[in-house]
Amino acid sequence: MQNERNRLRAAHEDAVRKHDPRQLETALTDKLMGTWQFLDIEVAEGDVSEEIAALKYKRHVMTRQNLTLDFFMDRNVFRRYRGKNGDTEVTGSFKISSRRYGDESFPYLRVFRDTGLPLYDFLTNMSTSRLKNQDNVSMRAAEDNWLGVSVTDDKLYLTMYGKMELTPNGWARSGGIRCIFQRAK
């Protein structure tokens, strides 16, 4: 009986260690530090034809060629970000957190703006006010500045949830948008 209890306790402690969100958040923060150069933007599948989306975003990418994001520690305590695109600059602080769905942890980047445009607007050239008619989850994610984040050694993927839709007044968010960055040398 005691052996079974010890075995179950050890298995539980291993599972807790394996899925500890702080380890994921710390490792992701360490990988995120540095300067990232904008590469591309992708639109998730939706009702809009791929050709129209490709044309729109080819033009959009041209205006984002000089866009960079810099993640750094201020006084070794505060996690900060700075974004630049030509004369436009945004600054603020950030936090990595994660949510667990089943056995999988999904990391999120939450930004707290100090100056400049909100990060959503800065990255996509679209305002969160265009989300007025969208579902509450997408609207709340945009207003709270939660972005899905994934980092490899040389690539950064920031995913904004919702959908994209072509309207007479331009693009409106109604599908997922993924911004891809490459580590600057």
Q: Among residues of the chain, what percentage have pLDDT more than 70?
A: 65
The predicted-structure confidence for 114-141, as pLDDT tens digits, reads as follows 999 888 788 876 654 444 444 444 444 4
Alpha-carbon span 23 to 90, nearest angstrom: 28
Rounded CA-CA distance 148/169 in Å is 27
Contact 107, 29 (CB under 8 A): no
> What CATH number is given to the structural domain containing 147?
2.40.128
- 2 φ, ψ to 5°? -65, -40
- C-alpha to C-alpha distance for 101 and 38, rounded to whole angstroms: 29
Residue span of the structural domain in which 96 resides:
2-183
Q: Which residues contact 93 (CB under 8 A, 6 or more apart)?
A: 78, 79, 80, 81, 111, 112, 114
* 33 token code pair: 């530090």
- The model's pTM is 0.70
* Domain total of the chain: 1
Interacting residues of 71 by C-beta distance below 8 A, sequence separation 6+: 32, 33, 34, 36, 79, 80, 81, 94
Q: Kindly report which listed range (43-57, 73-87, 95-109) carries the lowest average pLDDT score.
A: 43-57
Q: Which helix (H) or strand (E) covers residue 87, if one does?
A: none
pLDDT at residue number 168: 67
User: Across-strand partners of 94?
Assistant: 111
pLDDT at 148: 79
**Structure tokens belonging to residue 22:** 């702080």
Q: What's the angle, vertex CA 125, arms to CA 65 and CA 172, rounded to 5?
A: 130
Cα separation of 66 and 126, whole Å? 18
Task: Name residue, tokens 């409106």.
Answer: 172
The residue with tokens 């079974």 is 4
Q: Give me the long-range contacts of 52-56 (CB less than 8 A, separation at least 24).
A: 52/166, 53/164, 56/166, 56/171
Q: pLDDT for 166-176, tens place per residue?
A: 566 654 444 56
- pLDDT at residue 12, rounded to an integer: 80
